[in-house]
Amino acid sequence: MKIRTLLLGIGLSVGASAYAAEPIKIGIPVGLSGAASVVAPSAVQASELAVEEINSQGGVLGRQLRLEIADDGSGAQGAQRAYDSLVFQRKVDVIVTSQNTAARNAGLPIVNRGRVPLIYTSFYEGRSCSPWMYINAWVPEQQVAPVVDHFMTEYEAKKFFLIGSDYAFGRGMLQYTREYVESKGGSVVGEAYLPMDGSDWTAIISQLRSANPDALITSTAGGAPNVTLTRQLRAAGISIPYGYYALDEGTAKSMGDNAEGIYIVASYLSSLETDANKAFLEAIEKKFGSSAETPNELSVPQYEAIYAYAAAVEKAGSTDSAAVIQALGEVTVEGPRGSVIMNKQRHASLNMYLGRVAADGSVQLVKSFPKVDPGEQCPQFANK
């Protein structure tokens, strides 16, 4: 409801200036209900901020931007409904989304049918390719190296133990980690998965104990599994170096001292000391006040993607899908994460940051890795 009134407000305030031209519609399918609804508000806020900023500077090609938000219920079936509604009913010009992989996959056929550009803004397990899609978030190639390298050099870790939730992201990340660890001369002494809704890590922790590794890397489903695994590890007194792929700053904070010492790798940390990030944090704070959500690894790319789309439309001179798709690979966005251009086989080189959770739950920057390449993602789009 809040979103609605806000949208209405934006619509009214800009109504006078954009009187002549039809607004450009940006579709945001997002998990307002279901598992993803935890992070949905931050993504929506970031999108609203981007749209407001662009509109206040006169919009794009003289046209205002307008958000169209649809709930995907955090699942494939809901996503199809949301995409149907956005593409065929509300006839959006672009879709920008940080949904989970299943929801995105469910939406792709509809995007293909409706010929609408899609910018995907969530980190994922990689190698999803579609003529209508660009991705500005990280893939395993960018995430794995910093933490594994750090463990190998700082802690002289040789034996790694991997724990994940049994789903595409969990398996994808750990499979790449295994390859990377082995290519660097280390070994993986155990790799164990629990179903996504599993919460009893007892047997895996016992395996971990008897394998006696030097370091632990985990990749579980967001939300509950993050917390249950960490708590049970801590209760079992496991204290080896511990890297976590799917832990976000917010969850780390809520876990308090349980999360202390966990390493996370991200393309965005809210503590980044860059001017762009400070300005962004201020703008969020100013616009949403006390209800402002802490920006995160999903909401910031969402913010940047709307800027990327705006730039691409300017460059293409129209909202024509084919022209915009062409232009999206050529425009650079200077955002909170630094400058991002999606020219690496529809993906982007990103600055990556290795952080460590402190006792108060905040994430301290340990090391940064500029312009990490996403590697071979979609060779079929190599020339574009």
Partner 1 sequence: MEALALDILTTAAILFVVSTGLMIILGVMKLINFAHGAFLTTGGYIAYLVGAAGLNPWLAVPAAAVLGFLAGLVIERTIIRPLYHRPLDAILATWGLGIVIGQVFALTFGRGVQFAPSPILGTIDVFGNEYSGYRLAMLAVAIVLAVALSALLSFTRFGLNARAVIANEPLARGLGIDSANVRSITFGLGAGLACAAGALITPLLSVDPNMGLPWLVNSFMLVMISGVSFPSLLVASLLLGGSQVLVSTYISPILGGMTIVVLAALILRLKPKGFSRA
Partner 2 sequence: MSYTHRAALIGCLSGLAIIAVAPLFLDVYLTNILIRTLFVAAVVMTVDILWGYTGVLTFGQSAFFGIGAYACGLIFTHYGFGPGWALAALAVALGTAAIVAAAVGWLAFFHGSSPLYSSIITLALPIVLTQIIYSGGSFTGSSSGLSGFPTYYWDLKVWFWIAGGFLVLTTTAGWLLVRSDFGRVLIAIRENEERSAYLGIPVSRIKTMLMVFAGMVASVAGFGYAAFSNVVAPEMAGFQLGTELLIWTALGGRATLLGPVFAAIGIDTISSWLSGAMPFVWKLLTGVAFVLVIVLLPRGLAPLIGALWRKLRPKRVQKIHAIRLSPAPAGRMLHASFGDAPPLCLSQVSRRYGSLQVLRDVNLDAHGTELLGIIGPNGAGKTTLMRCISDGNERTGGAVRVNNVEIARGSPQDIVGLGVGRSFQNTNLFDTLTVGECLQLARYRIDGAKLFDRRETVSLPHPALDILKTTGLDKMLAEETRNLSHGMKRGLELAMVLATEPSVLLLDEPTAGLTRPERMAIGAVLTRLTQEFGLCIMLIEHDLDFVRAICNRVVVLHQGAILMEGTVEEVVASDLVKAAYTGLQKEAVA
| Binds partner 1 (CB under 8 A): choice among 77, 89, 187, 206 | 206
| Binds partner 1 (CB under 8 A): choice among 10, 69, 139, 194 | 194
Q: Which is nearer to partner 1, 228 or 326 (CB)?
A: 228
Q: Quick one: what does residue 341 bind among partner 2, partner 1, none, with the CB cut-off 5 to 8 Å set by partner type?
A: none
Query: What are 106's two structure tokens?
Result: 């469910």
| Number of residues engaging partner 1 in binding (CB under 8 A) | 35
| Alpha-carbon dihedral sign for residues 105, 106, 107, 109 | positive
Query: What are 192's two structure tokens?
Result: 């164990």
Separate counts of helices (H) and strands (E) for the chain:
12, 14
Identify which range of 176-184, 235-243, 270-278, 303-311 contacts partner 1 by CB under 8 A.
235-243
Q: Which is nearer to partner 1, 134 or 201 (CB)?
A: 201
| Binds partner 1 (CB under 8 A): choice among 77, 89, 254, 294 | 254
Residue 175 in the binding site for partner 1 (CB under 8 A): no
Partners of residue 334 on adjacent β-strands: 339
Q: Which is nearer to partner 1, 61 or 211 (CB)?
A: 211
Residue 204 in the binding site for partner 1 (CB under 8 A): yes
Residue 7 in the binding site for partner 1 (CB under 8 A): no
Q: Is 94 helix (H, G, I), strand (E, B) or coil?
A: strand
Closest CB 69 distance from partner 2, rounded Å = 8
Binding site for partner 2 (CB under 8 A): 1, 4, 32-34, 37, 69-71, 73, 75-78, 80-82, 84-85, 88-89, 100-102, 105-106, 108-109, 112-113, 125, 130, 166-169, 171, 193, 195-196
Q: CA-based diameter of the chain, in Å?
A: 70
Residue 179 in the binding site for partner 1 (CB under 8 A): no
Main-chain phi, psi angles of 134, to 5 degrees: -120, 155
Q: How far is residue 81 from each of residues 77, 100, 105, 345, measured CA to CA in Å?
A: 7, 15, 13, 29
Residue 306 in the binding site for partner 1 (CB under 8 A): no
Closest CB 76 distance from partner 2, rounded Å = 3
- Residue 134's Cβ-count burial label (10 Å; 0-12, 13-18, 19+) is buried
**380 with 133: CB under 8 angstroms?**
no
- Alpha helix (H) ranges present in the chain? 2-15, 40-56, 76-84, 101-114, 140-154, 168-183, 202-211, 224-235, 249-255, 275-288, 299-316, 321-328
Closest CB 198 distance from partner 1, rounded Å = 6
Q: Which is nearer to partner 1, 175 or 228 (CB)?
A: 228
Q: Quick one: what does residue 155 bind among partner 2, partner 1, none, with the CB cut-off 5 to 8 Å set by partner type?
A: none
**330 with 383: CB under 8 angstroms?**
no
Q: Which is nearer to partner 2, 196 or 358 (CB)?
A: 196
Q: Which is nearer to partner 1, 33 or 339 (CB)?
A: 33
Residue 199 in the binding site for partner 1 (CB under 8 A): yes
Q: Quick one: what does residue 112 bind among partner 1, partner 2, none, with the CB cut-off 5 to 8 Å set by partner type?
A: partner 2
Closest CB 231 distance from partner 1, rounded Å = 6
Residue 292 in the binding site for partner 1 (CB under 8 A): no
Query: What are 74's two structure tokens?
Result: 């955090």
Q: Is 234 helix (H, G, I), strand (E, B) or coil?
A: helix
Q: Quick one: what does residue 227 bind among partner 1, partner 2, none, with the CB cut-off 5 to 8 Å set by partner type?
A: partner 1
- Fill in the amino acid letter for 97: T
| Binds partner 1 (CB under 8 A): choice among 232, 274, 339, 362 | 232
Q: Quick one: what does residue 231 bind among partner 1, partner 2, none, with the CB cut-off 5 to 8 Å set by partner type?
A: partner 1
* Of 236, 226, 225, 232, residue with least CA distance to 264: 226
Residue carrying structure tokens 């595409």: 168
Please state whether beta strands 215-219 and 159-165 pair in parallel, antiparallel, or not at all (unpaired).
parallel
Distance CA 334, CA 70 (A): 28
Please state whether beta strands 338-341 and 350-357 pair in parallel, antiparallel, or not at all (unpaired).
unpaired
Binding residues for partner 1, per CB under 8 A?
Answer: 33-35, 37-38, 166, 192-195, 197-200, 202-204, 206-207, 209-210, 223-224, 226-228, 231-232, 235-237, 251, 254-256
